[in-house]
Structures are given as structure tokens and as C-alpha cells.
Structure 1
């Protein structure tokens, strides 16, 4: 999902015509897409880190 948003933002910026007065809309859309992708990625990393930490806190019981 993150890569799709970043690719879309990149495409919008490449295809925007800077001579047109509505170019700010394309830039705004690209920025919102990129920020959404970054927020999603940060949330995913936090969830993965919490899951990894949880596994470390509960080691498997073994016969000694």
C-alpha cells in the first residue's frame, strides 16, 4: 500500500503541468498520498516491533 501511494504521488508530480493554475491541486494530492503512506508504514513498524518484543518476553518452556 505504501509503495502504491508513493508511486501515485510521484506520477502526479511528473504529469502535472506547472503552467496551469491548478498545479497546486496535484502537489497537494501528492503530498497527502505520501504522508498517508508514511503514517501507514510507521504504524506497521510499531506493530511489528511490539509483536517481536512480545515473542522475546515469553520464551518457550523446555525440559531441564
Structure 2
């Protein structure tokens, strides 16, 4: 999903006509899409790190 948002943002910026007065809408849409993708990736990385840490903790040999 993130790659789709980033690709869409890139496409919007490439196809926007800078001479048109509404170009700011395309830039805004691209920025919102990119920020959404970044937020999703950060959340995903945090979840994966927590899961990896839990797995490491559970598989570590206990000292008795």
C-alpha cells in the first residue's frame, strides 16, 4: 500500500501542469499521500521490531 501511495504521489507531481492555478491541489494531494505512506511505514517498523524483540526474548536460553 505504501508503494502505491508513493507511486501515486510521484505520478501526480509529474503530470501536474505548473501553469494552471490549481497545481497546488496536486502538490497537496501528493504530499498527503507521501506522509500517509511514511506514517504507515513507521508504524509497521515499530510493530515488527516489537514482535522481533518478543521472539528473541522467548527463544533466548534461560540461565538457571
TM-score using structure 1 length: 0.91
Aligned to 1:32: 32
Q: Unaligned stretches of 5+ in structure 2?
A: none
Question: 1:4-63 CA deviation, whole Å, 9 max, x = no partner?
Answer: 0000000000000000000000000000000000000000000000000000111277xx
Q: Unaligned stretches of 5+ in structure 1?
A: none
Q: 1:24 to 1:10 in 2, by over 3 A?
A: same
Moved over 6 A (4+): none
Write the mapping of 1:5-44 to structure 2, written as runs, cut at 5 A.
5-44=5-44
Q: How many residues align?
A: 61
